[in-house]
Chain A
Amino acid sequence: MDKNATKIPFLLLFSVFLVATCGLIYELIAGTLASYLMGDSISQFSIIIGLYLFSMGIGSFCSKYFDENLLDWFIQIELLVGLVGGITSSILFIIFNSVESFQWILYGLISLTGIFVGLEIPLLMQILNQSNFGFKDIISKVFTFDYVGALLASILFPLVFMPKMGLIRTSFFFGILNTLVALLVLYHYSKELKYRTTLWLQAFFVFILLTLGFIFSDKILSWAEASTYDEKIIFAKTSPYQRIVLTRQDNNIKLFLNRNLQFSSFDEYRYHEALIHPLMTFTKNPEKILVLGGGDGMAVRELLKYTSIKSITLIDLDADMTNLFRKNEMLTRLNQNALNNIKVKVLNQDAFLWIKQNKILFDAIVIDFPDPNNFALGKLYSNTFYRELTHTLAPEGFIVVQSTSPFMAPKSYWCVNKTLQSVGFKTLPYHVYVPSFGDWGYVLASKQAFISRNVFQRNLRFMNDETFKQSQFFPKDMAQRATEINKLNNQILVQYFEEEWAKVM
């Protein structure tokens, strides 16, 4: 080593350190985001790390094509790293809702960051090399700072930045750091730079953009739905009718429609057994069954346990939903491939319109619509709709209606009961506890008396005579109360539902 060699300027070494820290942070953010949004963290992390390192390799390789104005390039790339790294997570969060090829955009952005970061260190080494510094010194110092930066990043990210700032803000924060370094270098070496004006302008632009992003990151997050789920999203699609999201935590799969939980694989058997089997004990000889809603096929799975059933017609508006539960292997495992059974006919039609024109009589009707949280859905709980059902139900037939929670929304629940009675049905209200939902209610309805005609199947996990008997008892806090009848021209149920859930949410 040349004793006279000038000391390597601290500023440049500090930039190495920061570039390394930021680079690793971007990688960690990308990995976290990928596993968070797409599930399967092991493969996502390993793909991201591999891709990132490989892209850095590409960057390093390309560095040899840079010969002139190295310092200009260095600043330029520093700014690009800051910009791309800083906004990547916001972009990914926002487009996740709407883009089909989400993964490829993710991988593209990661590669871009990797390439830029990969360019930085070799460029810096070249700059130093052109000056009078000893080669050994360069190598040792640069890599020391590089690895120290990496260590710092990997410790601070999970301990400080993720919990304190969250993904989006952290990205912006490091983007800003990157830009600040670029600004410092710019300032310090301003005279030696050829494209100084352009670089100043760029630097300011990037700085302002990222600072705004940092300030408004909460807003960005609220646009981006992904942050509202506690678990990892493994599937998301916007069908013409609703937003379908599947999440997974360990072995528990949850389905959300428009952000409302539809089932959790961990306890859905309770919900679906309670929905189907009491109905089946009353229906004398169930052959033809109609299911309205329930595109996940779980209710059909329970129905298929009855050999007497000859045909099941399932009406669900959303073809995306029924296709998903017909084709996705993980989901067909959950519904035991029910929707592909030859006894099952799936019609993707509007339930109200279908019922209005239908002429076929069914022995039992299962109604599993989403809760009445808007006026469109409220129509499916109206006396008019129930009256139409009377033309679809065989005289001996029975109906079951999922009727929201009698604990959280007692008026809503009893309103469904009353509305069914108002069109001439006898009803039998009951409720069960489903841990992920809470106390959940159903109403059985029929023109017939409720005389048990069949026994509960033996192989059920939850429902039996005892449980069903208990479930018909309503403690004081959810006991029957007076309500109006839900009609198309009062939509009183939606009003009750909003009032009651507003209280508990």
Chain B
Amino acid sequence: MGKSDVDKISRKEFLELSGLALVGSTLGLQSLVSCESEKIHGKVVGANHAIGHLVKKAISLPIFQSKKTQVLIIGSGISGLVAGYYLQKAGITDYEILELENHIGGNATFGEDAVGRYPWAAHYLPIPSPENKILIDFLAENKIITGFDANGLPIYDEYSLCFHPEERLFVKGYWQEGLIPNLDISEEDKTQIEQFLAKMELFKHARGNDGKWAFTIPLAYSSADNAFTNFDKLTMKEWLAKEGFTSKALLWYINYCVLDDYGTPLSEVSAWAGIHYFASRKGNAANAKGNDVLTWSEGNGFLMKLLAKNQLKNIKTQRLVYQIEEKSDSVLVDVFDWKNEKRETYTANQVIWAIPQMLRPYLMPKQASEFVKRFSYSPWIVANLETKPFDSGRGQALSWDNVIYEGEGLGYILANHQNVNQGQKTWQLTYYKPLVREMPVEERKKAIEKTHENWLSEIIADLKKAHPKIEEAILKMDVKIWGHAMIRPTVGFIHGRERQMAQQSLNEKIHFAHSDLSGVSIFEEAFYHGYETAKKIIKNYANSNVDTLAKI
């Protein structure tokens, strides 16, 4: 690409490029708002307008450097890192990972200060099902699975299994154990909850006419049997109504679950996705229960570090990829090093796209990508609070996950829960809230306008329901806005055409890996897509070299 290429970007295209501003990611350097309220300090890091300006700047500069690499991975979220991890395992070291932010990890990033580490988004991984062989192998390679017992059941590292007490729910002034409401509910509620769970248990063990699990993770291994995929044609709310589930407590619980995993309410999430939440996890372990989770103070940042540790030299941060162009035997990728304000161009044999699909029209304007319109993402906020120890309330003791019944947000997790030392003098709370009152676009706009003080008072008001005195205990609160946090599995999306189309590699040169391809935003799906793309590359890269393939 020569200097004249600058002119190739029309004004219209530029405006489209500015659409990058909607990327859910945040520029660490240029946090949008950083205000400090009088009593409680902290900052808001959020969806950034700055990217549009960056692109403008980039295209005004001459190309500083042209580079060549075998494989270029765009995005250092879990999917990008997994791809790199397996490339390296197969002996392919000529690759680079480009990351927009000044830190790696995407939705698995974490924060760290004198008190300890805390997650900025993804914070746990449920024990995987035995079918998820690659993930189990990865965990074993990294000592999170320390061995297997006589029955072949994995033995998990005890520091990684979530410590007791795990979950509690605040209902009418009291913390009950577990998140399924059981306190002060009617007989009818109880019966419906039991019936619902029994139904989910059936789905959990159900197989389609193709012999596959009806619902499983990775989602791609699930059955294509219509008997089940038809659930994708109606909302979870409609399905529940059809099945006669009316209990307020039950509906609250299911809504809580789908918000937690998909950031999408009952009224929009497809019934297939809703059932998938309850029926897909079939984990087992020698030293844990099937529904136990793995967690660390830095959340999935812990897994992210394991993935990244042997490939740090392949990763370049503060690189905005703003244009990708397919050539006959290679791919040209335009990159802006925004820290040093340098424009770079890469020639790569193959590219792994480990960033959200919604960016396709902006980065590859020449490619047909109508289907991308079907990809819709929910905005979230995550707040990290540092507090003095406070009265944690009546009932079950302070737990890892603390949820308020009919609360505004999804409650908070205690980031320091997995510490083993005595006498913790500062607590770290990570508060989660999907923004679902209005449609994502409106919510995103509203979120960007809010100040630190706005968030603070909103969050405190929510937490006060359970902890009337929490305000006095808060030492600091930082808020992060995730503009496009999670793909939304709305009706028809998971079993629709668009999702399939998006997964097609382009001429065996550009491969797609981001977790949004699953329609379900979880670690396992990011892992699956990262691994699958690595496999494709390895196959293309050394088609004849069977050994390489055998290695992974």
Binding site for B on A (CB under 8 A): 240-242, 317, 350-353, 356, 374-377, 379-380, 382-385, 387, 487-491
Contacts and interface: CB of A to CB of B under 8 A. Distances in A.
B423 A241 contact: yes
A488 B400 CA distance: 12
17 contacts: A241-B423, A317-B423, A350-B420, A351-B422, A352-B421, A356-B420, A377-B422, A384-B159, A384-B420, A487-B164, A488-B158, A489-B158, A489-B163, A489-B287, A490-B164, A491-B163, A491-B165
Contact of B164 (A377, A380, A488): A488
Contact of A489 (B288, B397, B422): B288
Contacts of A242: 423
A246 B166 CA distance: 37
A125 to B, nearest CB: 52
Interface in B149-166: 158-159, 161-166
Interface of B: 158-159, 161-166, 287-288, 292, 397, 420-425
Contacts of A374: 397
Q: B159, B161, B422: which has the most chain A beta carbons within 10 Å?
A: B422
Nearest to B164: A491
Nearest to A318: B423
Contact of A317 (B158, B292, B420, B422): B422
Contact of A488 (B163, B421, B422): B163
Contact of B165 (A375, A377, A379, A380): A375
Nearest to B399: A375
A349 to B, nearest CB: 9
Contacts of B164: 375, 487-491
Nearest to A353: B421
A325 B326 CA distance: 76
A33 B356 CA distance: 71
List the 7 shortest-distance A-B pairs measured between CB atoms, nearest first: A491-B164, A350-B421, A352-B420, A384-B158, A241-B423, A489-B161, A488-B163
Q: A382, A488, A489: which has the most chain B beta carbons within 10 Å?
A: A489
Nearest to B398: A375
B153 to A, nearest CB: 15
A487 B155 CA distance: 13
Give the interface SS of chain B, mostly helix, strand, loop or mixed. loop
Contacts of A383: 158
A438 B424 CA distance: 32
Nearest to B162: A489
Given A375-B397, A487-B287, A489-B292, A241 B422 contact: yes
A377 B397 CA distance: 14
Given A489-B288, A490-B164, A491-B164, A376 B422 contact: yes
B421 A487 contact: no
A337 to B, nearest CB: 27
Nearest to B424: A376
A488 to B, nearest CB: 5
B159 A488 contact: yes
A384 B418 CA distance: 13
Given A384-B159, A488-B163, A240 B423 contact: yes
B279 to A, nearest CB: 24
A457 B292 CA distance: 50
Contacts of B158: 382-384, 387, 487-489
Contacts of A377: 422
B160 to A, nearest CB: 10
Contacts of A350: 420-423
A240 B288 CA distance: 35
Nearest to A485: B287
Given A382-B158, A489-B287, 9 more contacts: A350-B422, A375-B163, A383-B158, A384-B420, A488-B159, A488-B164, A489-B162, A489-B292, A491-B163
Contacts of B420: 350, 352-353, 356, 379, 384-385, 488
Nearest to B417: A375
A451 B163 CA distance: 37
Nearest to A383: B158
B421 A240 contact: no
Contacts of B287: 487, 489
Contact of A376 (B166, B292, B423): B423
Nearest to A490: B164
B291 to A, nearest CB: 12
Contacts of B397: 374-375
Contacts of A489: 158, 161-164, 166, 287-288, 292
A420 to B, nearest CB: 15
B155 to A, nearest CB: 12
B363 to A, nearest CB: 44
